[in-house]
Structure formats: C-alpha cells, structure tokens
C-alpha cells in the first residue's frame, strides 16, 4: 500500500473509531465498542501524526527507512514473531488444560482451537516456505 493509501486508511480508521465511540456513548452499543472505537481513533491519530512527521522531516524519514530496510532489524522482527508464536502456543495449551479443570468448557475449547489454528498455520507456512527456499 502506498503512503497515500495508508493515510486514507488511517483517516477511515479514525472515522470508524469515532462512529463506534459515539454510538457506544449514546447507549446504542455496549462498552466493548466504545473501547474499540477509542483504540481505533488513537491508533489512527498516531499514525496520521507519524505520516506527517515522515513526510515533513527528512532526517526522520531517512531513519525510518533505514530501520525498515536494515537486515538486523528484519532478523529481530522475524525472531520476535517466532518467539511470540511459540509462547502463544504454550500459554494457550496451558490455558486449555487449566480452563478444562476449572469447568470452563467453552473457554477451554476456544483456547484449544486457537492452538490448533496456530499449528495448522505453522505447517502451511512451513510447506510454502520450504518450496520457496
């Protein structure tokens, strides 16, 4: 997505967040949606500010572009995703057992399905990457 596309996406994000927050504040939606709206507005506004800073500040733009393209940072990002995936599977697996023991059947099933989904996504990714590299 180009820079202008990202900018438009963030404006839409802010607008959707404002609508959700407004509807929740008016009592049409519950408090979950007010939190979702506030989060969308916050992320959208911060990304718009970052967009203008990147566009108007040459030194900052060069720093951001260098950080994105740097091989060490790419390696660290990939490693962090790997750790996050491993930790998620371990935590969700423990939660599946703990919730089952506590009698929380639906939550236990949800955690178990989340583990299954992660394992399936891992294997699909592995098979695709094995053919690519």
Are 64 and 103 within one domain?
A: no
59 and 114 in a single domain? The answer is no
Q: Which long-range contacts (CB under 8 A, 24 or more apart) does 37-42 make?
A: 40/13, 40/14, 40/16, 41/13, 41/14, 41/17, 42/17
Is 1 found in the same domain as 61? Answer: yes
Query: Domain ends where: 52, 69, 86?
Result: 69
- Cα(94)–Cα(92) distance, rounded to whole angstroms? 5
Among 29, 54, 69, identify where a domain stops. 69
Residues 79 and 59 in one domain: no
- Domain check: are 104 and 124 in the same one? yes
Counting the structural domains of the chain, the total is 2
pTM over 0.75: no
The per-residue pLDDT for 132 is 87
Q: Name the residue among 107, 110, 130, 106 with its Cα closest to residue 118.
A: 110
pLDDT value at residue 2? 62
Q: What is the mean pLDDT of each run of 10 residues along the chain (133 residues)?
A: 80 96 92 94 94 90 87 92 95 97 97 96 93 88
Structural domain boundaries enclosing 77 = 71-133
- Same-domain pairing of 104 and 47: no
pLDDT score recorded for residue 64: 86
Together in a domain, 5 and 29? yes
Are 15 and 27 in the same domain? yes
* Residue 66: per-residue pLDDT: 87
């Amino acid at each position: 997505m180009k820079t202008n596309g990202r900018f438009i996406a963030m404006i839409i994000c802010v607008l959707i967040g404002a609508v959700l927050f407004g509807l929740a504040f008016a009592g049409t939606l519950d408090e979950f949606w007010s939190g979702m709206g506030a989060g969308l507005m916050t992320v959208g506004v911060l990304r718009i500010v970052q967009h203008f800073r990147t566009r108007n500040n040459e030194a900052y733009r060069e720093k951001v572009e260098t950080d994105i393209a740097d091989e060490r940072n790419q390696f660290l990002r990939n490693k962090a995703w790997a750790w996050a995936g491993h930790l998620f599977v371990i935590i969700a697996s423990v939660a599946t057992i703990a919730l089952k023991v506590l009698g929380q059947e639906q939550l236990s099933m949800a955690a178990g399905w989340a583990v299954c989904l992660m394992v399936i996504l891992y294997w699909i990714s592995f098979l695709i990457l094995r053919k690519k590299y």
